[in-house]
């Protein structure tokens, strides 16, 4: 049974490591893999067209073989980004401890694996401990929404038990927001574009979820949509976009 640590970091089976999604400060989505038996980390950018992982900086192929990278890509599909793109280990186990752990996992019943794994792996997202590659320095034109109350509120509201986003329920709720009140109707009467209406709905629903009086700016709302879009290859608001198109066609 695969162990998901706090729904954001996933234990790999091919090597003693965990993997999790991170929002690259330089733009785009990435995966970070932490070895548990040695002090080693690898970062990969995700190519959405080929759905493959490209090494971000120097990577030791012996510590991070292609099979492990492919597994990391597969098991993190649909998982949200971690806050601040960080996972902190309170205790780094020794190689012997990891070897004993792996033997226990192989011998134990699936129901016991998560409990055993939790004794070995501690993950959190509060304090940075691993330095980002130099190429990931934040540039002023980039807007990162991962740490914002709006993004965190959406992730909290629509994350399933398996750690992935419930796009169906998310779209349903955002469509209800589009149908409520006169805001969208007024925008339609003004002849605004579909994307402008989408951003209006996203800003209002995100503000409600985060319990904030002020809404995001258009640029922040667009960055939030882009951030959600990078979590999974499918469009996060496919059904909402289709609903807005129908509203515009009336």
| CA–CA separation, 149 and 130 (whole Å) | 23
Are 10 and 117 contained in the same domain? yes
Are 113 and 171 within one domain? no
Same domain membership, residue 108 and residue 15: yes
Domain end among 93, 112, 135: 135
pLDDT in tens, 62-82: 999 999 999 988 888 878 876
User: What is the C-alpha separation between 120 and 200, in angstroms, rounded?
Assistant: 45
> Do 105 and 30 sit in the same domain of this protein?
yes
Q: What is the tally of structural domains in the chain?
A: 2
Report if residue 143 sits inside a domain: no
- Give the Å distances, CA to CA, from 11 to 3, 83, 209: 5, 18, 30
181 against 106, higher pLDDT:
181
Among residues 80, 106, 135, which one ends one of the domains?
135
Are 128 and 210 found together in one domain?
A: no
Mean pLDDT computed over every residue of the chain: 76
pLDDT for position 103? 55
Structural domain boundaries enclosing 13: 4-135
124-136: pLDDT as tens digits: 333 333 344 433 4
Choose between 143 and 198: higher pLDDT: 198
Give a yes or no: residue 140 inside a domain.
no
Integer Cα distance of 243 and 178 in angstroms: 9
Q: Are residues 8 and 131 in the same domain?
A: yes
Distances (CA, A) of 155 to 47, 53, 135, 145, 220: 23, 24, 27, 12, 16
Same-domain check for residues 25 and 76: yes
Same domain, 121 and 13: yes
Same domain, 175 and 129: no
Tell me how long the chain is: 250
Cα–Cα distance for residue pair 249/5, rounded to 1 Å: 45
In a domain, 67, yes or no: yes
For the chain, count helices (H), then strands (E).
9, 6
Considering the domain architecture, whether residues 127 and 11 belong to the same structural domain is answered as: yes
Residue 144 lies in a domain: no
Q: pTM for the complete prediction?
A: 0.61
Q: What average pLDDT score do residues 46-54 get?
A: 75
Q: Which two tokens stand for residue 213?
A: 């009086």
Q: Are both 59 and 105 inside the same structural domain?
A: yes
> Are 213 and 129 within one domain?
no
Distance CA 150, CA 166 (A): 16
Whether pLDDT at 114 is above 50? no
Q: Where are the alpha helices (DSSP H) in 25-138?
A: 66-75, 95-107, 110-120
Q: Give the pLDDT score at 55.
A: 87
């Amino acid at each position: 049974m695969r162990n998901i640590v706090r729904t954001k970091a996933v234990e790999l089976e091919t090597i003693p490591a965990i993997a999790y999604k991170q929002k690259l400060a330089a733009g785009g989505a990435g995966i970070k893999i932490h070895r548990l038996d040695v002090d080693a980390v690898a970062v990969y950018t995700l190519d959405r067209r080929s759905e493959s992982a490209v090494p971000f900086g120097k990577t030791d192929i012996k510590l991070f073989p292609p099979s492990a990278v492919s597994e990391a890509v597969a098991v993190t599909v649909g998982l949200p980004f971690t806050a601040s793109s960080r996972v902190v280990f309170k205790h780094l186990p020794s190689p012997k401890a990891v070897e004993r752990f792996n033997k226990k996992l192989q011998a134990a019943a699936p129901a016991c694996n998560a409990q055993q794994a939790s004794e070995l792996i501690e993950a959190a997202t509060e304090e940075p401990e691993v330095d980002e590659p130099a190429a990931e320095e934040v540039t002023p034109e980039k807007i990162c929404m991962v740490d914002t109350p709006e993004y965190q509120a959406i992730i909290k509201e629509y994350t399933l038990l398996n750690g992935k986003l419930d796009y169906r329920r998310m779209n349903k709720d955002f469509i209800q927001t589009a149908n409520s009140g006169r805001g969208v109707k007024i925008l339609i009467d003004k002849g605004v574009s579909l994307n402008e209406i989408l951003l209006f709905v996203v800003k209002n629903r995100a503000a409600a979820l985060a319990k904030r009086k002020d809404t995001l700016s258009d640029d922040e709302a667009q960055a939030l949509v882009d951030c959600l879009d990078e979590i999974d290859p499918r469009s996060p608001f496919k059904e909402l976009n289709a609903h807005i198109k129908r509203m515009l066609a009336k």
